[in-house]
Structure 1
Amino acid sequence: MRGDAKPLVKMMQGAETRFVIPVYQRNYDWKREQCKRLFDDLEEVVHEGRASHFFGSIVSKADMERRVLIDGQQRVTTTFVLLAALCKQIEAGAIESENPEKTARYIRNQWLIDEYDEVEKLKLKLVKGDQLAFRRVVEGDSDKLVSGSNVTENYRYFLDRISGTDLTAEQLRDAIKLLEVIDISLEQGDNAQLIFESLNSTGLDLSEGDKIRNYVLMDLPEKTQEQCYEKYWNPIEVNTDYDVSSFIRDYLAAVMRKTPAIRRVYHVFREFAAGKDSEALLSELLRYSEIYRKISDGKVGSAKIDPVLTRLGLMNMGVMNPYLLSALVAYEDGTVGESDLAEALRAVEIYLFRRWVADVPTNALNKVFEMLHWDAMRGVGDGASYADAVKYALLRRDGSGRLPDDKEFRDGYERTDFYSTGRWRFYLYERLENGDSVERMDVVGMLESGAASVEHVMPQTLSRAWRNALGEHADEIHERWLDTMGNLTLTGYNSQYSNNPFEDKRDRENGFKDSHYSLNSFIASCEEWGPEQMEERYELMWERFLELWPMPSTDYVPTVREHESHGLDEDYGLTGRKLAAYSFLGARHTTKNWVDMIQGVLRELYVLDPAGIRAVATGLKFPARYFSEKPLDYGFEVGGGIWFNPGCSTSTKCDALRRVIDRVDGVEYSDLTFEVYDEKESGE
């Protein structure tokens, strides 16, 4: 690898010189902000009489007269677009020029095109989505520009800036000639991927998906790159709405049963993909991305599955995607039947909704949904139906992974403000109104458009008429019932109802008596609206909750009791629990007690970051008092003369590990999981 400082335009000169953006690179994505900064800098170069302006580095790999860009495509592409805009404005007379025809021809033939090449005149080859836009920009026909491309938008921006600048065409051209870059050329034997990672390791330019695309495609021959991009990668981007990073995170969680932190998706993927055939891996990613799209659309083509999948989508909880990916792959493979999967998804729906109403912490859900399909398949292997195995896997969870029973569900029902429901509003009121009926009101569409809204029957602000109707305890009644299901409903006429008296809301044109919503039938039948009516409707709505979200049940009991799996990141009580094994950083270790576990984990952490462990051990805060720089009668050496005293409770050991992991870069709480069982089951 060698690097030289030189003007960027020097690299663009020459009749046969071509810049090629390989297909594994992301699309051109500089916006107006970056273009503004560049143009401002060019004006300053002229006004301040600078000799040069540093414009970053360009990393490329030579292929005859072609430069395959590894890094720097944003700067190179923007320069080409600026030059094309300058040509256009010179020819249009929108910028002063000493010799318009000569200057425009010079710019075009020196830097933009090879006038002697009848096949491909352009000196820049972008990825497919941007290449047509760039061609139209160079041609300069404003009626044929490609809309929606950053190439086009930035070209238009430069047209405006050029027409408004106080520079002449020649001054601007000469300023562009002063843009200096570090030209880094890769040589035989240089590892392009490692160099690319190093150059992009400190910035926020590239998403995890960008890095993965580069990793998968970079080392393939150029023709194969283009074929794989067209056949696999571009459809993957489309299927995932171009959020490839989130998709691959969910994919890894599905196949590895462990969810990487979003900032570590690329590194985990690299380890996962090492040694695998690139095209086979891309083919699998494409298949999973197609299922990802079906999850997003709520459509797999099944009258039984699609309604539940659609409702799960309304919950907007991406944490369940690893499970859905695994379950739908099994469904498409014929491993899980249609009715079985629909029933299992219904159990998941009930599980999530009951937890929301009961306000159960969500920190255990990653682990639940990483493992749910695989837990269920073990049950299937033990003779259970898939649906029963899923229900059992959810019912056996406790701590922050639990499924609330009817008592906890009712307690949550009584506490919850069902007016301020955030993202749950669409799901909740769609389900309450339509249930499983095939004759459906478009609740979600009307709520999204504002055609309908959630209405307080007894208004948020009590008028004098309402106070008189409610009596001397009006304030207490208002506080007790306002945001409960006893007082909330749907209407398309909220603004007209305002805080009018109940009789007016009920009897007016388009009032509750005229409403097509089933939620309003009881309200329309009431002669007045006070605490008795709100309490009666409150109980009716509770019965509706139990009907729509009943507690799942199953008769399935495993032949052999499985160990439960819990992560260090879960809110989970470990008192009275025996440890069978633990997994740390991808490796599973069988063990008989918690002391062996913390010894193994601390020693691995010490290898990763000795200074971090020593800082914790010699500090003034917890858990420093459990560490020592001298040998302990009861304890073990972590490493480097640092000892640990494990004479504390299991929960204290786990708290100590959390504090230590906080100090070690690249390690998350979720990297440590436990397989536990009840102490009374120790003989199993």
Structure 2
Amino acid sequence: MAIIKQAQRQTLGQLIGANNPVVHVPDDSQRQYAWTKKEVDVFWSDIEKFKEARENGNESSSEYFIGPVVTITADSIQARSLLDGQQRLTTSTILIAAIRDALWGMKSAEGISSANNIQRDYIARKSGRKDPMEYFLVLSLFDRDFFRDHIQDWSEITGACPRIESPSRPSHRLIVDAYAYFRSKISNCLEMYEDAEARLDYLDSLRECLINGLVFVEIQTPSSSDANEVFETINSRGKDLSTVDLVRNFLMEKSRSTHEKDRVNDAWRSLLDGFERREEIEKFLRHFWVSKNGDVKSHSLYSIIRKQLSEHFDKRPQLYGVGAFSAELEGAAGRYAELITSNTGDLDFDASLAEVRAMSADALYPLLLSASGVVAYSELQPLLNASISYYVRWTVVGRRESTLLEENLFSAAKEIARGASIDEVVRKILGWIPDDETFLADFREASIPKQSQSRYLLSKIEQHLRLADEVHEEVVLGDGKVFVEYVYPQKPTDGTRLDDHDSWVSRLGNLTLLTGKKNASIAALQFPDKAHLYYDSALLVSSGTGLEELWNTQEKKWQTAGIEARQRRLAKIAVDVWPSGTEWL
């Protein structure tokens, strides 16, 4: 078993800043710089969102947890060998260098001074005029010289790196690409500011977010064998030291007795045993917190949990301590597992939960988790029905901003946790649901490119048609027995392609369901060649909703008027399938 000296919180500035032990990638490491534009773009987008939230005074966004790093740290702590975390630290250094160069490029005394400070504090410096350069991040043999030549060996006189060495390896080109990407993004942002003072403020704010806002957990090990074991655990078994692990470490830190530590371990055994995938535990932890406290973003979840629980534990441990929180977490985990697997034991409720899963409507779970802690599942059907109608009318069909829906549902979850009745919350949700006239208009124009959602909508309409015609065979949602059929094909044959093809192919009026396995050879056929599939289908949504109107028999071509006519008919059915009335109260 690996020996871990310690696992501690470190900001980016503490990992690669001056007066801290140098971080170097061992030469026997075969990892080179590997982040492509995709990863760099995600990194930049996350930094931008974090910076905006931090500047707006969002308490939950004071830190951005970016993941663990694994180091081999000798007892003398003169240097740290980096086994895991190279990509994030290298990319962060490249971004810091881009900020440095943007500051220098402003040609002002303050800009040049700030650029020099960034270089000396976070990239590289000389202790004395004749001393060798000290690099705060040292890459492995394959990238080391190139990284220094293009990023680290920066002149305070010229404001530039030598850049003598040409990219000779894929990793070199990726380093160049990442730097160019950041310079371009920073340049675009600076264009929004009219005066030099505002540009300096922007660059300084960006620097501060990186240096003091980006937070890692450094896992220090005494030897390479220990580090490799931790590395393999993280990367091969998929068990990151993420928010879940950080919360556990925090609870252990705050435990006042062996009994409390045992209570934490019991709760964590339940989490690890109760969910099939690590991602489900991460999602549960956020939804559990949201169900009690309202919205919080994933990247800031740990910092806000630590802050708020510390206040409770330090001030009133006898009223709400580590043991009470762990017990609450364990109980909620069991209910959450039942909710996401539609396994509560109440058949009607589980059928509705299957709809939530079919739509990937995760925003509903915090509300259901909060309510299930107050009343039995059998009493939650009106709440679930209203929530599903709200989600379908607002998000799936209406394509409205999902952020507002989430804020509303998360706020409702918090209200229940604070004592509001289920009936009160149902009434509130009914007030948020778009009315019938709005829903009809939305449905008539709706395109649903996501097949899981279109399958759900059509399956529910199919169930409604069967109930009306007293056909008792049930259509099961999302079990692979039915597939979404594009009547007018996704890839039509030559000469039959509609004008503005992309606007029509995913319209609900063009979609239906067929049983069995999808046959790709049939998909592109013209209507007369596959009409028998619809007419002979046992599914009423295919055989009885006017699919023949999509084809102009005389001119032998597809017609958009037929798509619109069928979609209007489906819209009238949809109003009854996902009602907005008060029948659930």
TM-score normalised according to structure 2 size: 0.53
Is 1:485 the counterpart of 2:529? The answer is: no
CA contact (8 A) 1:394 1:403 kept: yes
Aligned partner (choices 338, 349, 372) of residue 412 of structure 2:
372
CA distance in 1 between partners of 2:425 and 2:575 (Å): 20
CA contact (8 A) 2:248 2:264 kept: no
CA contact (8 A) 2:352 2:385 kept: yes
Equivalence map 1:279-428=2 (5 Å): 279-332=323-376, 338=378, 340-356=379-395, 357-373=397-413, 386-387=422-423, 389-396=424-431, 402-418=432-448, 420-421=449-450, 424-428=453-457
CA contact (8 A) 1:416 1:484 kept: yes
* Long gaps (5+) in structure 1: 1-17, 26-36, 44-53, 61-70, 84-125, 131-148, 155-204, 397-401, 468-473, 557-684
Give 1:249's aligned residue: 286
Give 2:225's aligned residue: 79
The Cα offsets for residues 55-93 of structure 1, whole Å up to 9 and x where unpaired, read as: 336799xxxxxxxxxx9766447514879xxxxxxxxxx
User: Could you say if the C-alpha distance between residues 523 and 375 of structure 1 is closer, same or farther in structure 2, counting changes exceeding 3 Å?
Assistant: same
The Cα offsets for residues 561-587 of structure 1, whole Å up to 9 and x where unpaired, read as: xxxxxxxxxxxxxxxxxxxxxxxxxxx
More helix by share: 2
Q: How far is the alpha carbon of 1:522 from its aligned partner? A: 2.0
Give 1:541's aligned residue: 570
**SS of residue in 1 equivalent to 2:295:** coil
Give 1:236's aligned residue: 271
Give 1:9's aligned residue: none
User: Could you say if the C-alpha distance between residues 261 and 41 of structure 1 is closer, same or farther in structure 2, counting changes exceeding 3 Å?
Assistant: closer
The Cα offsets for residues 214-247 of structure 1, whole Å up to 9 and x where unpaired, read as: 1111354896577335421121234354344433
The residue type paired with residue 40 of structure 1 is D
Aligned partner (choices 261, 269, 278) of residue 305 of structure 2:
269
**SS of residue in 1 equivalent to 2:403:** coil
The residue type paired with residue 366 of structure 1 is E
**SS of residue in 1 equivalent to 2:28:** helix
The residue type paired with residue 527 of structure 2 is F
CA contact (8 A) 1:24 1:229 kept: no
Q: How far is the alpha carbon of 1:405 from its aligned partner? A: 1.2
* Long gaps (5+) in structure 2: 9-24, 32-70, 78-216, 314-319, 553-558
Give 1:645's aligned residue: none
Q: How far is the alpha carbon of 1:323 from its aligned partner? A: 0.9
User: Could you say if the C-alpha distance between residues 525 and 413 of structure 1 is closer, same or farther in structure 2, counting changes exceeding 3 Å?
Assistant: closer
Specify the structure having the higher radius of gyration (Cα): 1
The residue type paired with residue 225 of structure 2 is T
Is 1:215 the counterpart of 2:250? The answer is: yes
TM-score normalised according to structure 1 size: 0.46
The residue type paired with residue 484 of structure 2 is V
CA contact (8 A) 1:513 1:521 kept: yes
CA distance in 2 between partners of 1:152 and 1:517 (Å): 46
Aligned partner (choices 41, 60, 72) of residue 55 of structure 1:
72
CA contact (8 A) 2:7 2:218 kept: no
CA distance in 2 between partners of 1:554 and 1:224 (Å): 49
CA contact (8 A) 1:430 1:443 kept: yes
CA contact (8 A) 1:505 1:512 kept: yes
CA distance in 1 between partners of 2:371 and 2:461 (Å): 27
**Greater length-normalized contact order (CA 8 Å, ≥ 6 residues apart):** 2
CA distance in 2 between partners of 1:457 and 1:19 (Å): 58
CA distance in 2 between partners of 1:523 and 1:496 (Å): 24
**SS of residue in 2 equivalent to 1:358:** coil
Q: CA-atom RMSD, angstroms?
A: 4.5
The Cα offsets for residues 588-618 of structure 1, whole Å up to 9 and x where unpaired, read as: xxxxxxxxxxxxxxxxxxxxxxxxxxxxxxx
The residue type paired with residue 374 of structure 2 is A
User: Could you say if the C-alpha distance between residues 290 and 230 of structure 1 is closer, same or farther in structure 2, counting changes exceeding 3 Å?
Assistant: same
**SS of residue in 2 equivalent to 1:218:** helix
User: Could you say if the C-alpha distance between residues 77 and 525 of structure 1 is closer, same or farther in structure 2, counting changes exceeding 3 Å?
Assistant: same
**SS of residue in 1 equivalent to 2:343:** coil
Give 1:668's aligned residue: none
CA distance in 2 between partners of 1:266 and 1:404 (Å): 35
Q: How many residues align?
A: 366
CA distance in 2 between partners of 1:230 and 1:264 (Å): 24
**SS of residue in 2 equivalent to 1:490:** strand
User: Could you say if the C-alpha distance between residues 377 and 291 of structure 1 is closer, same or farther in structure 2, counting changes exceeding 3 Å?
Assistant: closer
CA contact (8 A) 2:440 2:575 kept: no
